Structures are given as structure tokens and as C-alpha cells.
Structure 1
Amino acid sequence: MLQKFALAFKTKTIEFFAEDEEEEEDGRDPSQIDDLSSAAAAAAAAAEEEVITGQRVVVIKPDDPPRPKIDHETLVSSLFAATSSFRAAYVQLQASHSPFDVAAVSAADRAAVSHLHRLSDLKRYHRNPSPDCPLLRHAEAQVEENQSLLRAFETIANRLQSDIDAKDAEASDLRRRLDEIEASISASMDRLGRSSVSASGEDGGVRISLGLFDSAVRDARRSARKLTRALTGWMRLAGWDLDSAAESVHGGVAYAKRSHVQYAFLSYVCLGMFGGFDSESFGESDGYGGDPKSRKNRFLRRFIEHATVHPSELLMRRPECEFARYCERKFEQVVRPIVGSYEVDGTEEGLGEDSVHDMFVELASSVWMVHKLAYSFDLAVEIFRVERGAGFSAVYMENVVRSASDGGGGSGRRRVGFTVAPGFRVGGTVIQCQVYLDRQ
């Protein structure tokens, strides 16, 4: 092989110098040119047979091409654009799962994988720069990054709008249900107002209704809550242990909150004030005589007379009347055990003994009017309460704790702890009693 290479190299050298000789031949004699050609041909023939030995061949390799420089600004811009595109695809992938959309999930998955491949290409380019890596110009990268951010924000906005639409639909459904409940209540109140009776005899022009009786019961309950708050404040000022006091009223009840012991005191006040309600004399030894019609007229007249006079003024004008005896008896039974044994200065808090007495008279007047009105009806009026442990019934009972967060949720699966305020049956109409549900 070396011999062949040397022969070829020699031949090319002769040809190279032959070109120079041709330029000189232009000024020579033609005979001289022929002689030179013959000599060159003879030399070439001799060179074909000549073997070159002991020669050293040096092969010169070309230099490696220069390594391209990295455009860091373009690389970083492309990196941010690819990252933003992947984030947008991932957000779309998450949004496609709820509700689940197979086509959208597949498309978002393919887009996310393609952007990951692109990030991998940028990583390889950073380690080994190559002109084959498609880098975006700085402006193009910024445009692609902003477009990816817009796609991500659009996906989030669509998801939020979907949530808003769902909430609007839920609110519309609740409004519709509220309208239905209000319409039902309005219809019930209309039926309650139509279920009225007229007193006969001398007071035949006075008309009473079940709606009036329901309003009187609600007034009595509001007055009972007002007096209960005053008595509870009095007990705190006197240093009472409210938990022990509530346990003495209704023992063994598990309260949802410690503050719910106030319902035990409200029960104590309501049941005490309505005690004896089922008798015409309201606990007095002497009853009313005469036929039923005249008795009903007498109760109605007492109701009207009491409604037209302030109870405190009535007590001052007629201290020996039936209402005054009722107040004296109930005060000794309900209020005196709390305020009679302690000296408390609660004037600044509005809990002085005079203030408590005024609240008591207001409550006594409300309960008194409920009693007189009940016995003015031709329909039978019955008072009722629920014993502890009875199952909750939405027909006959009302949970006094109405908020589910305060322990009033799931009333249908709970048991009655105690009756807070009694209920009434007027013919076929029920005015619910208020109960506290045991947490156990």
C-alpha cells in the first residue's frame, strides 16, 4: 500500500511540474518540446516499475469544528415558555377530571408529555449545544409563555364559573323551597284564622281565633325567656354554680354546649308558670259554676278586661283580685327560691329586684291571658308536655336549639332531654311544645 501511495504521489508531482514546463514550451522550439515529452514519458514508465522503500508517511487530520456558543437569553426564554406550557396543560388535565371527560384528559395528557419532552431537549442542549435543538427567539418565547398563562387562567376561570353556576342553581332551588314553605305557612295561617269561634251572649260581638291564641302563646314564651335571662344573671352575681343548679332542675342531661344550661332554667320558669293550667281556676281551690256557655263568656270577659289594663296598674288598683292572687302564688313558687335568699346589687346590670319583679308581672300577665283565652273556646283546649326519653316528633315538638352547629342537627334521630315550654291542642290543631334534645 505504501508503494502504491508513493507511486501515486510521484505521478501527481510530475504532472504538477509538467504544467510549469508547458508554460515554458510556448517559447521553445517544437523539436525541443518533443524531446522533453519523450523524456517525461520514459521517466513515467520507469517510475511505474520503481519501488520506494524506507519512506515515512505522515497523515494530517483536520481540526475539530468549533463548539457553538450557548445563547443563554434564548435558552432561558425557551425554558420559561416550555414550563408555562406544561403548567397550562397540567391545569387542563386536572380540570378534565371533574367532571371526567375522557377526550379532554387524553388531549391534556399528550400535551403535558410533549412539553416534558421539550424540557428534556432543552436540558440536553444546555449540556451539549447542538444546532438541531429548536430554540425560540426571545420575543416568540415570551409570546408563547403569555399564551400558556392565559390558557391556564382560562381553565381556572371556567372551573370557577362552573362552581358559581352550581351555587346559583342551588340558591335558586333553596329560594323555590323557601317560597313553597312560606306559601304553606301562609295557607296554614289562613286556615288558622278561619278556624275561629264567636263568643255568645252579652259578648257575642267579640270574635276570637286560633291565630289569636297562637300569638298569645308566643308572647308568653318571649316573656319567659326575658325573665329567665334576668334570673340567670342574678344567679351569676350571687355566685351560684349554674351547672349544679341546672342538674337540680333536670338531672342527667348531656348538653351540646355548656351555655345550654340556660334552657333548663327556661324550662323551670315556663313549667312553673303554666302549672295548674289544665284547671279552670288555674290552681285556685274554688272553680267557676254555671253552665258551660256562661263560663266561656265569663272567661272571655276576663280576657278582654285584662287586655285593656296594664298589669302593674291592675295590681295597684285591685290587690285582692284573682290575677293578684295568681301573681303572688307563682312568685313564691318560681322566683322567690332564687332571689329571696341573696342580697345582690344588680341595679347597674338591670337586675335589681324591682326589675325582676316587673319582668315577672309581664310574664304572669301573658300566661294569665293565654289561660283565659283557652277557656273561651268552644273547642277543647289541652296543654301537654313530653317526658324525657321520648322520640322527637316534628308534628308535636319544636327543637329549641334550631342551629345544627349548636347541636340541633338530626332532630329526627334524637331523644327528648326535657320539655322547655308546653304545647297545646285546640281541637285538631297542634301548637308545638318546645323541647331540648339530649346529646346522648
Structure 2
Amino acid sequence: MVTRLHLQDSDLGYLLSFLPFFCPKMESVKSSNLTPSSKSRLARAFTKVLHVRALTGIGPVHGIQKVKPQERISDDCTASRSTGSQSESFDSGEEEFQNRVQLQALVAKLFASISSVKAAYAQLQYAQSPYDAEGIQGADHCIVSELKVLSELKQCYLKKQFDPSPETTMLLAEIQELKSLVGTYHIMGKILEAQARLKGSEIVSLGEKIEEIKKQNRLLEKRLDRSGLFSVTGDHLSGVNTSHFIKVLGHTIKSVGSFVRMMVDEMKSSGWDVHAAATEIEPDAVYWHDNHRRFAFETYVFREMFDSFHKLNFALPNESLPEERKQKQFFLARFMEMKLRKAKDFLSQNPKSTFAKFCRVKYLRLIHPKMESSLFGNLDQRGLISSGQFPDTTFFSTFAEMARWVWLLHSLAYSIKPEASIFQVRKGCRFSEVYMESVIDEVYLSPNADPVVALTVIPGFIIGKTIIQCRVYLSQ
């Protein structure tokens, strides 16, 4: 906003106090020598100078204090005895400030034009993909026009042909620059939206490919299962070897991991202190990071589920076995019975089977009554399982699927020849790469460290001369 000053003769004394700032070399004169006509000329000169200072944003000089007009006239206003020289000095100061303002207006137009070129160039790039002929033509026309404006500004500067109304020019230039910036950001937003849509399409396409691959894998698994790899022919077994055991072990480990994650999530939802629970399970374990405490829960579940794995009947009470020469065929038949069945469906159809007995024993040992009461608010699931029934809940279904894979692994361990034997290492044992594998990255261990076993998370197996390493958590 332009500020205009209207001065009266009474204000002249105060304005003359600024003379040392504008004209420091003027000689002082007495106020009595100032005629009314000279006062009027000085007032007009100050009006013009202060008007230019208001436009250019030049503030008052720090340290100048207001004094009474008579004091300023009597003390400081003795600069010159010639009113004509005063007028010429103020006129030259006004011209200098006016030139400065006009130059600022030219620079403002220069930056506004450059911003317009940038906005037009962004529009040109955006119109190229997808191809937009009208958009390209419009952006090209704008760029050419702004380049002509820049050339004209150059000539104006060289010839010192400045705008006679710099205030309006600077205001218009600022508006033009802001419009160009808004246009540039608008184009950038469109480009980012197009990229986001492209990435979204790629994600959908990759998801479809993943689903297709999963379907193909399931078909291949069915073909392998039906191709006779696990077939019983007469009194001898064919196609059963260590690789099949390793494959089933991998599925077993994944199922245990899924159950542990669900159990820990249920504990967190019920307000359990998970760290304190991990300490209760393994009180002497020292962890590298807090999130490694999950290995304590995995250790607990593996230990309970694989307890008595080395026994033929899995320590189930009143479980009879066939004679020794028919045992391998018996265990393979049991494996074939369960390998393509879901645990939930099998239990509903065979609630008094050996596998159902195995699920009851393991659940009642693994899930403590206090834990079940805390997680679910009651002991209904425990009551159903104890009475020979099975609850239809997600928690038990996940547990039963884990139990099915442990059951399958046990059946396969006694189907192959030589049989698989289970082992684990004690706490404090030195790490051996032959029998052990670390469940954490080796980067946690220093080069000169002598790591020892803190937890045996997953047990290992020996099949003849083949060693399947147990997975341990190490500490120093």
C-alpha cells in the first residue's frame, strides 16, 4: 500500500532533524533565515523523499530520537545558507532513490518472467507424456513470449529505459511470479499423481503374478503328492528320504512361528508384560535387543511340542504299536493319512484318534490354565478339550495345525531309513558350526568373541551321516 505524507509548516522542525541523515555535509543555518517560500520547498522535498523511502521499504535509522522542533532547529539545522543548494541536493537524492526503485522494478519483472518460463517448461514436459498437442503448443507459445520479454528487459536495462510507475510494476511482477509458482506446483502435483497411479498399477500386477505363482506351486505340490513319492508297496517303502524330512521340518518351523506370533499378540491384547513373561520362561538369558525376547516363547513352544519326540509312541498313554518289522510301514501309513488333511477337519471326524489324543495332551501342557483364563476370560476351551471335544476357535485351529505338522514330522522320522534322531545342546556350550546354526545375524558377534549357547530355539536332527543343525540363540 502506498503511503502519502501531507506536511504542514508546523512539522518542518521535526523533519529538519533528519537532515544529517539525508544530507550529512550540509552547513547549518539559523531558523530565522528560512523564508516561507524556502520552507514550502523543503516540505515538498521531504514529502518526495519520504514517499520514496516508504515505497522502497527503507526504515528509519536506529538511534535517531524525536526532539522538540525548536530544539532541532536551533541545534542542528545550521547546514546551509543557500536554499537553492538545499533544493538541488534533495532533488538529486530523490532522483537517486527513484532510479533505485525503478531498477528494483526491472529486477522484479526479470524474476517474474523467469518464473513464467519455468512454469511453461514444466507444462511442456507434462504435455509430452501422454502426448497432448494443444498443451505442447500452448507451452511453447508461452516460452517464446517470455523469452521475448526477457530480451526486451535486457534492452531496457542497457538503454536505461525504466518504468515510470515502479510501484505498480513491482506489485504486478510479484503477482505474476506467484501465479507461475502455483502453476509449477500444480504441474508437479499432476506428475506425482500420475507416478502414484503407475506404481499402484505395478503393485496390482505384481500381486496378481504372486497369486498365479502360488496357484502353480499348489498344483505342483499336489502333483508331487500324487506321483508316488510317498507310496507303500508291499512290505517295503520307496521314495522316502532325508530331503522329504527336511521339507516337512521347514513347514513345522513355520507353523510354530505362526502360533507363537498369535499367542504373543493375544498376550499383548490382554495386557501382559511380554518382557516379564519372557524372563519367567528363560530367567538367565541375556538378549542383544528387546525384540529378541520372542525367541524365549519359540523355545518354550518347541520344547513342549517336541518333548518325547524320541519315543515311538510320543509318550502317549495306552498307545500300542505294531511289531518292529512293521513299524516303518505303520508310521508311513500314519503320515499318508494326515499329510493332505486339515487338522480341524480330521479332529471333527476322528475325535478319539491317536492324533486327537496327542492334541489334547500337548494343549493341556502348553497352555497353562492361568494363561488361558487371562487370554480368554474363562477356561471353556480347556474344559471342552479335557472332555474329548475341540473348540471352534482361531486360537485352537492354529494350535491344531501346528500339532499336525509336529505329528507328521514324528511319523516321517520313523518312516525313513536310517531313522531320524533328535538332539539339542545345553546352555553355556560353545558354538559349533557343525551342529549348530545361529538364529541371529553374525554381525552381533564381535570377531574375537567366544559365543556360547543361551537358548536352543529349534532342536536338531541326525539321519545317518546327515546332520540337520539345531538353531540356537548365542550370547557372549
TM-score, structure 2 normalization: 0.46
Q: Relative CO higher for 1 or 2, CA cutoff 8 Å, sep ≥ 6?
A: 1
Structure index of larger Rg: 1
TM-score, structure 1 normalization: 0.50
